[in-house]
Structure 1
Amino acid sequence: MEQFQKEKEEVDKGCRDCKRKLAECQKKMKELELSSSEGSKSELQRLQAEAQQLKKEEKNWEGKAETLRKKEKTMPWNVDTLSKDGFSKSVFNVKPEQQEESEEQKEKKHKTFVEKYEKQIKHFGKLEAEFARVISSG
């Protein structure tokens, strides 16, 4: 299985490199076509020959890739061929140690809370008083 995977990666890499080289060669050819001078014509012919060679090489790599795809389809099914790792990361949930707050810290926290929500506290206090009055009268 590992051998097949390495072979597949090698073919993919070769195919990508060949396509990249072909694209670079074609780009150089276009640049030389625009600058039509005597020296560039011989260079242009050399690049055209190189492009033809790269196209043949690209077809060769694509043939190898197709052969690998067919080989992969005919491979027997087992755990290695059916399943693949989604990710390989382990995470441990560790609770941070909570320090006990001193009385001063608790008092300060309470004071800031009361200051922040003073309007809501008064509103709900009034609602509670109203509710108590309704219950006692009713």
Structure 2
Amino acid sequence: MRCTCDRTKDTATTTVMAPEELAGLSATVTGEKLLIQYDGPALAAGVGDTVSPANCIPYLLRALAEGYVLEVGEETLEDIPCLRLALDTTDADGEKVVCTVWLAEEDPVYAELSREGKLLLSVRFTAFQQTKSDGGE
């Protein structure tokens, strides 16, 4: 799956680019609200801080900015030298979620989100681009 994520200070929107069958599907997290939209109509999808495939990218970005660092180390992942960070976060239900992220240079390569040692989601980044909005946020 190929996605884009646009993030401002208050919102994050992840949009599916491929596969074609899902292209245009987007999930927007604003505060604690999650909105799913596809080709027009929108569907309120609950709390934005609960870990799900729809909001895992914004959740990871927030973890990188605000999470408590549990572990830091260097690790090679798929022949790429990476900085490995394990970050402690709390979801909307008050449950602890550990976000482990492998970073090459400044870009994420891979991430895992787990609760109580059980893997919830894994994310493999094939491309990552960060841009600033006109407001410099």
Query: Normalised by the size of structure 2, how large is the TM-score?
Result: 0.20
Whichever structure has more helix as a proportion of its residues is 1
Structure ID, larger Rg: 1
Whichever structure has more strand as a proportion of its residues is 2
Query: Normalised by the size of structure 1, how large is the TM-score?
Result: 0.20
| Structure showing greater relative contact order (alpha-carbon pairs closer than 8 Å, 6 or more residues apart) | 1
